Amino acid sequence: MIDANQEVLIFGHKDADGDTLGCSLAFAEALRAAGKHVWVLIPPPLPDMYEFLPGFNEVKDVPPSGVEPQLVFFFDSGNLERSGSGVRHIASQATIVNIDHHPSNSRFGDLNVIEPEASAVGQMVLEMLDHFGFDITPSIATNLYVALLTDTGGFRHENTTPKALEDASRLARLGADPGWIATMRVEMQGRLAWAKVTRRMLREAEAVMAESEGIIDTLNSIAGLELAILFKEVQSDLTKISVRSRGAVDAAAMCALFGGGGHIRAAGAEIAKPMDEAVKAVLATAKEAIHAASGQT
Ligand SMILES: [Mn+2]
């Protein structure tokens, strides 16, 4: 069925959560890697807190006109109404595949895969990707990890089964970064992203500071982002910042204000302040810089 279709629609549900978003974005990325044209449709407004999910900024509410995919997936949507007005654009001959874990699901699909025992639909998508032989990239792993994290209430609800933890562990091994996901913040409608790496986090992860360098590049891969900042706690009164700019902000000029330097796109500084004070000072400067830079264009 997937082989026979070059265009695919993917629907999530309104009041989007990490499960519907994570599943939709993960499956879309896998299909795109297989050369498909994919549109992810989820009714707005989408919660800002998920803006860091890879692919988030490509989510639409209706498909572009003239596009009539014959294959349509729904993830985590208990009924058609939950997926908003976009469903009116589904071609009348299209095959609808309904993937969900709500026992109350209305079975509106031509093919209904409902697994009430799944802690999150993210686990079902992981199985599907394995079944179809799709690669699980770090960004797919991140989306599916967030699906599981959301629906298990941060691995605290009673649906935190051994299988949920095994899947989470596998996704972490495939590139989802639990510590980073827990601390990631996105502000200014996705233009500014930042994360903290504390000494405690690194101890618990049995990692060394050097291994956290990749985080800044993950931050920097968020679509629509202008400035990414990683704060690293070196000592209780010393914080290192790494800054990446993809917009008009001069990262080197910004870091120079804190005694550092570098290049326009990549710069850093060491600030003789505890983490929280450094975060406060640098974020205020970063927001000013983004405003000033966007004023010039
Ligand atoms: Mn769910």
Domain boundaries, given as residue ranges, for the chain: 7-176, 179-293
Tell me what pLDDT residue 52 has: 74
Ligand 1 centroid from CA 7, angstroms: 25
Per-residue model confidence as pLDDT tens for the chain (297 residues)? 888 999 999 999 998 989 999 999 999 999 999 999 999 999 998 876 787 788 888 999 999 988 899 999 999 999 999 999 999 999 999 999 999 999 999 999 999 999 999 999 999 999 999 999 999 999 999 999 999 998 988 887 889 999 999 999 999 999 888 876 766 777 887 788 888 877 776 665 554 444 555 566 666 656 677 898 988 889 999 999 999 898 899 999 999 999 999 999 999 999 999 999 999 999 999 999 999 988 754
Four-point Cα dihedral 8, 13, 18, 20, nearest 10: -40
Tell me what pLDDT residue 293 has: 87
- What's the whole-model pTM score? 0.71
Ligand 1 centroid from CA 192, angstroms: 28
Structure tokens at 201: 């986090």
Which residues sit opposite 245 in a β-bridge? Answer: 227
Q: Provide the sign of the torsion angle of the four alpha carbons 19, 21, 27, 33, taken in this order.
A: negative
- The domain made up of 7-176 has a fold known as inorganic pyrophosphatase (n-terminal core) (3.90.1640)
Q: Coil, strand, or helix at residue 253?
A: helix
Alpha helices (H) in 64-221, listed in sequence order: 121-132, 138-151, 162-173, 178-183, 199-204, 213-219
Residues 6+ apart with CB under 8 A from 93: 70
Ligand 1 centroid from CA 123, angstroms: 10
Q: Provide the sign of the torsion angle of the four alpha carbons 139, 140, 142, 147, taken in this order.
A: positive
Ligand 1 centroid from CA 80, angstroms: 15
Ligand 1 centroid from CA 22, angstroms: 10
Give me the residue label for tokens 């025992």: 117
Structural class in CATH, domain 179-293: alpha beta
Ligand 1 centroid from CA 276, angstroms: 34
Ligand 1 centroid from CA 75, angstroms: 8
Identify each DSSP E strand in the chain by its residue range. Answer: 7-11, 37-41, 71-75, 95-100, 111-114, 185-187, 192-197, 227-235, 238-245, 261-262, 266-271
Cα atoms found within 13 Å of the Cα of residue 160, Cβ hemisphere only: 13
